[in-house]
Amino acid sequence: MGKTLIIAEKPSVMTDLSRALAKPLGRFEKVGSGRDIFYENDDAVITSAVGHLVELRMPMGPNGKKLPWKFEVLPAIPENFDLDPIPDSEPRLKQILKLAKRKDIDSIVNACDAGREGELIFRYILDIGDITKPVKRLWMQSMTNNAILEAWDSLRSDAQMRPLADAAKCRSESDWLVGLNATRALTCFNSRHGGFNITAAGRVQTPTLSILATREAEIQAFNPTPYFEVQATFAVAAGHYPGKWIDEAWKKDEANPHSRPERLWEQSAAEAIRARCEGKSGTVTEEKRAQSQIAPQLYDLTTLQREAPFSAKGTLQIAQALYEKHKMITYPRTDSRYLPEDYSANVRDTMQDIANSSLQVAQYAAAVLKGNQDNGPRLSKSRRIFDNKKVSDHFAIIPTGKTSKLSDTEQKVYDLIVKRFIAVFYPAAEFEQTTRLTRIAQPSLTDVFKTEGRVLIKPGWLEVYGRRPGVASGKDELVAVTPNETAHVAHDASAKGNQQAAAIGARTRHLAQQLVHAGHGLVLLARLQKEHHRRFGKGGEEGFSPERPDGSRSQNKNPPWELAYSPLDARRQRLNQPAARKYVVLRRRCLYSYGLQSTSILMHTSTEGSGRVDSVRSTWATIIVAGTI
C-alpha cells in the first residue's frame, strides 16, 4: 500500500496537520530546510502551497506574441484556459508536483482552506501537473486538533467536491474574461487621442467605484442652507438626558421640504429661546410602548468586519490569526450566520470550556449551561442558530473553546466573537420605547423640548455586554424618570470650568469658520466629546490646562485642550494640501466647532441635513446648534 500526499494551503497549516495527524498516522519527520520543508512518515507526506501557485495564462496573438492593446483583437476569448506558474512561487509548485508524481504516492488529499478559493488552488496544481491520482477532501471548520481529526475521519470524496471545483473555475475564468476585455477596451477608448491611459475595470472594483463616484457627485451638488436648533441637557434624579426644542404647531410645508419641527431659520429666535429657558425647570410627560430586541445572530465575516473597530482588511487579518495561529475561532471566511443542526454537542463542549476559563464572560457561559431560569439563558436548538439550509461551505464564526495569550487587537475581535456566541442563547432584551416632552412654562408661552429614546427594563442578552436595567449607556437610551418629575436645565460645574471651556471654544470656533469658508468638512465633534467624557467624566475639569497667556502650556500629559484643538489644527494643515481633496471620507462632510460653556454655539455643516450632536455633556446647559441643510 502506497502513501497519501496531503496538500495544505499554507506552511503554517502544514505544520498543524503534522502534529494533529500524528495520532492516527504516526509521528512525522521534517524533511528539507528553508522553504522546501515537508513532513513524511511511513503512511503519508504533508506539503503545502503558499497561496495561489498557478494563474490563467495571458492572451497571445496569432503570431505567438503578447496580445496588442487594440480594439481589433477584442474580445479575447480563448478556446481553452491554459495555466502558467506564478514566477515568485514556481519552486514551491515544482516541489509539490515532484512529490505528487512519486511512485509511492497513490492518493492525494486536498487540505487547502475549506472554501471555493482553497478548492481552486488545489485543482489548478493538479491541472498544470496533469495529476490523475485519486483525490479526497479534508474539510476543516477550525484548526483545533479535534476538528482536524474529525475531518480526517470523514474525508469527502472527489465527486462531492466537483460542483465546488467547477464553481471556483467558473469564477476565475469569468473574472479573467470580464476584467481583461473591459480593461483593454476602456484603455483603448481613453487612449484614442494619444498616450496610454490605462483604465482598470473588473467584476468587483467597477461597481464599487460607481457607488463612490455617485456619492461624491451628490456631495459636490449639495447646496447648504443655514438653520438653528436649540438643545438642552436636563437633570433628573436618575441622571441626565438631552432634549431638543420643537414647535408643537409645526406642519409640513411643501414649499420648504427641509423644514422640521426643531429647525429655526433665524439665530435671533434661537437666542430668545435659550434666554427664556436657561436655568429654568420643566415638567416631564411621557408616552411609552413595550419593545423587545432579540440578540443579533452569530457572526459571518462581513458582519464581523462591519462591527470590529478596525478596517475590513485588518479585521480579516486578525480573524485569520485567531484561526490559524491561536486556534481560538472557527474558519473566518464564511458567509453563513448559522450552525449545522448536528453541532449542538460541539457548542455545549465549547460553552463548557468558556465557562471553565478565566474569561470575563465565563459566568454568562455557565448560566447558559445551567439553563435553570424561567425565560433565562439556555442552550436551545433555535432555528435562528442551527439550520442546515443556511450553512454553505462554512458555518458561522464561533470560538473553539481554546484560550491563548492575545494582543490587544486580537483580544478585541475575539471578545466580539465570544460574546456574540454566548448572547445568542440569552432571551430578548426588553425596553420601553419612550417619547418624552419636557415643558418649560413661561408667562406668555410654553417651550417644549422633545426627547426620543428607550429605557432598558430587562437586559436579556445585553447582560453579556455588561448592561443593567435603568442605566442609559447605549445609543438612543434614556435614564428613567418618575411620573410628573421636574427636570432642571443643567448648569456648568463652575465658573472656572466656563473660563477654561471658553479658551477651547474660541480657538475651535475660529478654526471651524476657516474650514467652513474653505469649503471643507470634518467629522470631529462626536469623537472629541466621547474622548473627553472617557478621560474626565461628566463632572469638573480636573487636569484641564489650556494655553497660558504667555504662550506656555501645562506639562500635563494629555490636557483636553490638546484633544480639542490639536486634531483640528493638524487636519487643517493637511486639508490645505491638494492631496487631501482626494480623501473622500473627510471631504465636505460635517464640520463642528464647539465650546464647553453654556453659551457656546455649535457650528455644523452636514450633507444629510441633520444638526445631530451625539452626546451633549451634562455640565453644558442650553446650547444653540447652528447648521446647514
Phi, psi of 610 (to 5 degrees): -105, 145
Are 258 and 398 in contact by the 8 Å Cβ rule? The answer is no
Residue 583: active-site member = no
Q: Rounded CA gap, 48 and 56, in Å?
A: 20
| Beta-ladder partners of 477 | 454
User: Which residues lie below 8 Å from residue 551, measured CB to CB, with a gap of 6+?
Assistant: none
Tell me the CB-side half-sphere exposure of residue 358, using CA atoms within 13 A. 3
Phi, psi of 468 (to 5 degrees): -130, 150
Identify the sign of the CA torsion 569, 571, 577, 581: negative
Report which secondary-structure segment, H or E, holds 153. helix 145-153
CB atoms within 10 A of CB 104: 10
Amino acid at 376: G
> Starting from the edge strand earliest in sequence, which strands make up the sheet with 38-40, in order?
29-31, 38-40, 44-48, 3-8, 105-111, 135-137, 156-157
Which grid cell sits at 214?
455617485
- Kindly name the residue from 331, 364, 426, 565 that is annotated as catalytic: 331
Q: Rounded CA gap, 357 and 466, in Å?
A: 18
User: Which residues lie below 8 Å from residue 217, measured CB to CB, with a gap of 6+?
Assistant: none
What is the number of helices (H) and of strands (E) in the chain?
A: 16, 18
* Integer CA distances (angstroms), 202 to 58, 188, 199, 208, 495, in order: 16, 16, 10, 10, 61
Are 188 and 70 in contact by the 8 Å Cβ rule? The answer is yes
The distance in angstroms from the start CA to the end CA of the chain is 77
Q: Rounded CA gap, 333 and 396, in Å?
A: 9
For residue 463, give the DSSP letter. Answer: G
Cα 235 → chain centroid:
35
Reduced DSSP (H G I as helix, E B as strand, rest coil) percent helix, strand, coil of the chain, to 5: 40, 20, 40
Kindly give the pairing relationship between strand 38-40 and strand 44-48.
antiparallel
Catalytic residues: 331
